[in-house]
A and B are shown apart, each in its own frame.
Chain A
Amino acid sequence: MKSFIGYMSALILISLPPIGCGNSTSETSTPEIAQTESTQIRELKILAHDSFDISDDVIQEFEDTYNAKITIFKSGDAGEMINRAILEKGNPSTDILYGIDNTYLTRALKEEIFQPYVSPMMSNIPNHLILDDTFHVTPVNYGYVNINYDKDYLKNNQLELPTSLEELTQPQWKGKLVVENPATSSPGLAFLIATVSYFGEDDDYNYLDFWGSLRMNDVLVKDGWSDAYYTDFTMYGGDRPLVVSYATSPAAEVFFSDGKYIEPPTGNILIDHATFLQIEGIGILNGTSVADLAEKFVDYTLGKRFQEDIPSRMFVYPVNPEASIPDFFKFAQVPTLPAVVTHTTIDEKRDEWIDAWTKIVLR
């Protein structure tokens, strides 16, 4: 019995500090720095999707300039991240959300999880890239979602590049395509919307028929882009030579090859109306306690330093036209006729499209 009391007291003693911690901020919360101007290091927490990446020194520069400490939480794919933010609405555990794009935008706006902010840097941004005219979300980067293909694989298997989306439902492409789930992945949703635009919803052969045929043609669905690209794409040991990705990804392959590739080993399938212009943005979460710092960060992401770091980290284009684009981006192609779908349409129909797609493809 004595041993039991000892056991229990030990447990109680150990548990007291955690209980005392209460609603804790991170363990590494910084000590106050006594200075003449009483500046403290303030924490800025950023919620991002798994594909977010930026150079450490770019972050470091912001931290030094504004006496801040930045923590970035990667929490899954864009869709899940936004759903979680909605569940935390009004009392968010982070301050900024990075990675809300034009496909998921209205879902977040309806739930009012952001607070508006018009950054002075916005005057630089071209009109067609302003994804939210209420300025709850500020655009930061954009890219074109399309289908990438593995050049070697196609050559070795004598496969001709498809010139229309319908070709993907034909026997020679059986089991060769991997796509992302539009419920969770923003490129996945972007591609779905492109197919809606391409095939239409009411015609004889509409987008659902297309997806039904794709399912019968053994299309693979993955939750996220990095999963699909780095696990199932033949470039990385998978068995699918076609993957829904960005028109800039072939350029990224050259960049990462350290000189091994002079030309991209992968290519873009640029079929008219079958690509989608995706604009990604950043929003300040409603309920944050460091709104002013967050605003400074939004300004910073639109500044040259951050914008110029984006292409080599996330392989999409910076929105700021003054930011110079790295050399290897010459391999990135810009589709001439991406799909055009209005905001209001996306807003009205998004959930319906996702539901219908899920029924046809996953069940």
Chain B
Amino acid sequence: MLGPKSYYDNPNTTVKRDFSIIQPLKSVASVRLLIVIPILFFCLFFIYPLISILYHSLDANSFEVSNPFIVLLNDSYYLGRIWFTFWQASVSTILSIIIGMPIAYFFAKYNFFGKTILKSIISLPFILPTVVVAMGFVVILGPKGIINSILISLFDLNESPLKISNTLTIIFLAHAFYNYAIIVRIVSALWENLDKSMSESAKILGASRLKTFYHITLPLLMPAIVSSAILAFTFSFTSFGVVLILGGSKFATLEVAIYELTTKLFRLELAGALSIIQIIFTFVFLLLYARLQASSSVPLSLKPSETSVKQKLGLWDKLFFICIIPYILIVLSPIVALVWRTISSILSYQFTQITNLFYPERESYFYLSPVTIIWNSVKLAIPAVLIAIIIGTLVSYFLSRSKKRGFSLADAVFMLPIGVSAVTLGFGFLITFNTYPIDLRGSWMMLVLAHSLIAYPFVIRSVLPVLRGINPELRESAKLLGASSANTFRLVDLPILSPALIVGTTFAFAISIGEFGASILLVSPELTTIPVAIFQFMGLPGSTNLDKALIMSTVLMSVVTIGFVMIERFRSKSSGAF
């Protein structure tokens, strides 16, 4: 025999050419055991805090205060919050779809110079930290924002005409800004690969463009629209930073309510009960999404994108082209506004004052230097990324073995951390890891663990599709030639995976740097991260504080953008849109 015995014994190895089933790994027991590490991690740092939350919310003062769940469900305010979270997420999702569809069409149908760069740019909002997005919106639409300043000087007004900060409108806009990119990427990926022959037949038979779209294209696109909508909905549902900064106390979603109950009203048992309710909802959403994703990666009769791109550009096409570019610019305006405002603020300082912002000449006892804060964030991000990569890759290996129902359930379970709100996670850590057996109070490990928990699902989403796409014949050949498992991994898997791993790494880094919801609960006075510092500076009066917030937002945005550029470079086409 030239290969391992199991290769001949295993009845499956001879049959399928299905790239999604990877058999040879099955034969090595020690490799299978590696999944134990992620399971331990998941149980210890995710399940255990959640159970702790449940325990706290059921246990507290049961004679004096009634069961928190009952209190909550009887309180019209909190019921109102749940309802509000739902319907603002729905409206935000619909808005994202409306904004995203034309752009998706644009990318599916047209080929032009700079297409890949533009595609990257429009996806940037999704990866931006929430504080940066909120900051961008404040800068452009706030009472002292750019649009108001323009309107005031144009029409010689006394006060700002556009009063939409602290209203629903700005929250919807911010959510749409965040999530339209999801729609664009997932839908255009499918759209550009659709077989044109069906819509062409419809046209030949006399259907108008509208009819063709409605009856042919739309149904075909449905899986992509629905799955991207579910993702957008989940992110809007669990949105925290945007609602907290732009919405104020009046528009609290579940997240904001949990945060307020923890830090302001100090009703931990109610916060716990709300967290449980929120987790149940998001688990359902994510299960839906995982099911849809697994089923939609079965290919339809997809054609390469070149065939659906228009060859000849008619008048409508040219008009559309001309309109879509400013449309995209408007959509991206908060980012541009943020950079613009930062640069103009910096320019208004003299050079000495700028260095003073970063390195105070006079030793002031209250001063937390932005440089220290930035360095804090980096120090936290690196171990967080390492943990996320290891956990994410191990889970991907486990999940890549099959697409059966059990595995898709496992997929949803492992993905839970991103659906569970960051605030809930932070809250869970806060009340769990403050006593025996794991006391992490005052330790930076809490933040590292929280960040890695939130980041590893993105590593899974980057690595898993590539892993599923590895031709098993490559591995089989290596085995036949006598390579051990470790060598197979090193020489076959790793080179193929390495772009996906780089994507996962930079994703995890960007997430850790920009994480806000859990961090705001877990930072200690000495160990503050950039997003929390931005939030604190925004809350203090005075233009110097605002400038510090602006500068740090721009630094954060630049770091994330650079990471993002790297992601785009190394991402392979087969990894799908998400």
Of the candidates B264, B365, B525, the one whose C-beta lies within 8 Å of that of A83 is B264
- Residues of B contacting A45 with CB < 8 Å? 525-526
Asked if B525 and A11 sit within 8 Å, CB to CB, the answer is no
Q: How far is the CA of A303 from the CA of B390 in the complex (A)?
A: 56
- Residues of B contacting A24 with CB < 8 Å? 444, 526
Asked if B434 and A87 sit within 8 Å, CB to CB, the answer is yes
Asked if B525 and A93 sit within 8 Å, CB to CB, the answer is yes
- Decide yes or no whether A314 CB sits under 8 A from chain B: no
0/1 string, A59-98, CB within 8 A of B gives 1: 1000000000011111110011001101110011110000
Asked if B264 and A79 sit within 8 Å, CB to CB, the answer is yes
Asked if A362 and B541 sit within 8 Å, CB to CB, the answer is no
- Decide yes or no whether A279 CB sits under 8 A from chain B: no
Asked if A73 and B263 sit within 8 Å, CB to CB, the answer is no
- Residues of A contacting B21 with CB < 8 Å? none
Given A15-B383, A56-B363, is A227 in contact with B434 using a C-beta cutoff of 8 Å? no
Asked if A18 and B525 sit within 8 Å, CB to CB, the answer is no
Q: How many residue pairs bridge A and B at CB < 8 Å?
A: 116
Asked if A230 and B265 sit within 8 Å, CB to CB, the answer is no
0/1 string, B219-261, CB within 8 A of A gives 1: 0000000000000000000000000000001100000000010
Interface residues of A in 85-117 (CB under 8 A from B): 86-88, 91-94, 107
- Decide yes or no whether A256 CB sits under 8 A from chain B: no
Asked if A75 and B525 sit within 8 Å, CB to CB, the answer is yes
Asked if A4 and B363 sit within 8 Å, CB to CB, the answer is no
Of the candidates A3, A15, A72, the one whose C-beta lies within 8 Å of that of B386 is A15
- Residues of A contacting B362 with CB < 8 Å? 56
- Residues of A contacting B380 with CB < 8 Å? 18
Q: How far is the CA of A359 from the CA of B249 in the complex (A)?
A: 12
Of the candidates A59, A184, A354, the one whose C-beta lies within 8 Å of that of B365 is A59
Asked if A7 and B249 sit within 8 Å, CB to CB, the answer is no
Asked if B264 and A80 sit within 8 Å, CB to CB, the answer is yes
Given A27-B372, A88-B442, A231-B541, is A15 in contact with B365 using a C-beta cutoff of 8 Å? no
Asked if B442 and A91 sit within 8 Å, CB to CB, the answer is yes
Q: How far is the CA of A236 from the CA of B264 in the complex (A)?
A: 27
Given A15-B382, A23-B443, A91-B441, is A224 in contact with B263 using a C-beta cutoff of 8 Å? no
- Residues of A contacting B439 with CB < 8 Å? 91
Interface residues of B in 406-441 (CB under 8 A from A): 430-431, 434, 439, 441
Interface residues of B in 367-414 (CB under 8 A from A): 372, 375, 379-380, 382-383, 385-386
Q: How far is the CA of A24 from the CA of B495 in the complex (A)?
A: 38
B216 to chain A, nearest CB (A): 43
Of the candidates A3, A7, A226, the one whose C-beta lies within 8 Å of that of B540 is A226
Nearest B-chain residue to A229, judged by Cβ? B541
- Decide yes or no whether A33 CB sits under 8 A from chain B: no
Asked if A84 and B263 sit within 8 Å, CB to CB, the answer is yes
Asked if B498 and A4 sit within 8 Å, CB to CB, the answer is yes
Of the candidates B80, B250, B526, B540, the one whose C-beta lies within 8 Å of that of A362 is B250
- Residues of B contacting A91 with CB < 8 Å? 434, 439, 441-442
The size class of the interface chain B forms with chain A is 35 or more
- Residues of A contacting B525 with CB < 8 Å? 45, 47, 73, 75, 93-94
Nearest B-chain residue to A72, judged by Cβ? B365
- Residues of B contacting A26 with CB < 8 Å? 526
Given A27-B372, A84-B263, A359-B77, is A227 in contact with B539 using a C-beta cutoff of 8 Å? yes
- Decide yes or no whether A12 CB sits under 8 A from chain B: yes
- Decide yes or no whether A34 CB sits under 8 A from chain B: no
Q: How far is the CA of A142 from the CA of B69 in the complex (A)?
A: 41
- Residues of B contacting A70 with CB < 8 Å? 365
- Decide yes or no whether A272 CB sits under 8 A from chain B: no
Asked if B382 and A226 sit within 8 Å, CB to CB, the answer is no
- Decide yes or no whether A294 CB sits under 8 A from chain B: no
0/1 string, A219-241, CB within 8 A of B gives 1: 00101101101110000100100
Q: How far is the CA of A7 from the CA of B494 in the complex (A)?
A: 13
Nearest B-chain residue to A55, judged by Cβ? B365
Asked if B264 and A11 sit within 8 Å, CB to CB, the answer is no
Given A18-B383, A184-B264, is A221 in contact with B249 using a C-beta cutoff of 8 Å? yes
Q: How far is the CA of A86 from the CA of B536 in the complex (A)?
A: 20
- Residues of A contacting B441 with CB < 8 Å? 88, 91, 93
Asked if A4 and B501 sit within 8 Å, CB to CB, the answer is yes
Asked if A362 and B365 sit within 8 Å, CB to CB, the answer is no
- Decide yes or no whether A295 CB sits under 8 A from chain B: no
Nearest B-chain residue to A80, judged by Cβ? B263
- Decide yes or no whether A50 CB sits under 8 A from chain B: yes
- Residues of B contacting A11 with CB < 8 Å? 382, 385-386, 505
- Residues of A contacting B386 with CB < 8 Å? 11-12, 15
Given A47-B525, A50-B540, is A23 in contact with B364 using a C-beta cutoff of 8 Å? no
- Decide yes or no whether B502 CB sits under 8 A from chain A: yes
Q: Kindly name the residue among B443, B494, B539 whose own CB sees the greatest number of chain A CB atoms within 10 A.
A: B539
Interface residues of B in 331-383 (CB under 8 A from A): 362-366, 372, 375, 379-380, 382-383
Q: How far is the CA of A198 from the CA of B265 in the complex (A)?
A: 24
- Residues of A contacting B364 with CB < 8 Å? 56
0/1 string, B548-568, CB within 8 A of A gives 1: 000000000000000000000
Q: How far is the CA of A59 from the CA of B262 in the complex (A)?
A: 33
- Decide yes or no whether B299 CB sits under 8 A from chain A: no
- Decide yes or no whether A166 CB sits under 8 A from chain B: no
Asked if B264 and A363 sit within 8 Å, CB to CB, the answer is no
- Decide yes or no whether B83 CB sits under 8 A from chain A: no
Interface residues of A in 1-40 (CB under 8 A from B): 1, 3-4, 7, 11-12, 14-15, 18-19, 21-27
Asked if B249 and A362 sit within 8 Å, CB to CB, the answer is yes
Asked if A183 and B265 sit within 8 Å, CB to CB, the answer is yes
- Residues of A contacting B265 with CB < 8 Å? 183, 354-355, 358
- Decide yes or no whether B167 CB sits under 8 A from chain A: no
- Residues of B contacting A52 with CB < 8 Å? 366
- Decide yes or no whether B114 CB sits under 8 A from chain A: no
0/1 string, B460-502, CB within 8 A of A gives 1: 0000000000000000000000000000000000110010011
Asked if B494 and A1 sit within 8 Å, CB to CB, the answer is yes
Of the candidates A18, A22, A226, the one whose C-beta lies within 8 Å of that of B541 is A226
Nearest A-chain residue to B81, judged by Cβ? A363
A191 to chain B, nearest CB (A): 17
- Residues of B contacting A27 with CB < 8 Å? 372, 375
- Decide yes or no whether B524 CB sits under 8 A from chain A: yes
- Residues of B contacting A236 with CB < 8 Å? 541
Q: How far is the CA of A76 from the CA of B502 in the complex (A)?
A: 39
A-B contact pairs, 29 of them (CB 8 A): A1-B494, A1-B498, A4-B498, A12-B386, A14-B382, A18-B380, A18-B383, A18-B444, A22-B443, A27-B372, A27-B375, A56-B362, A56-B363, A56-B365, A72-B366, A73-B526, A74-B366, A83-B262, A84-B263, A91-B441, A91-B442, A93-B524, A181-B249, A183-B264, A183-B265, A226-B541, A227-B539, A227-B540, A358-B265
The 7 A-B residue pairs whose C-beta atoms are closest, nearest first, are A73-B525, A230-B541, A4-B498, A15-B382, A1-B495, A18-B379, A93-B524
With A7-B502, A221-B249 known, 20 other A-B pairs at CB within 8 A are: A1-B494, A11-B382, A14-B382, A15-B382, A15-B386, A18-B383, A21-B444, A22-B443, A23-B442, A56-B362, A70-B365, A72-B365, A83-B263, A87-B430, A88-B441, A184-B264, A230-B541, A355-B265, A362-B250, A363-B80
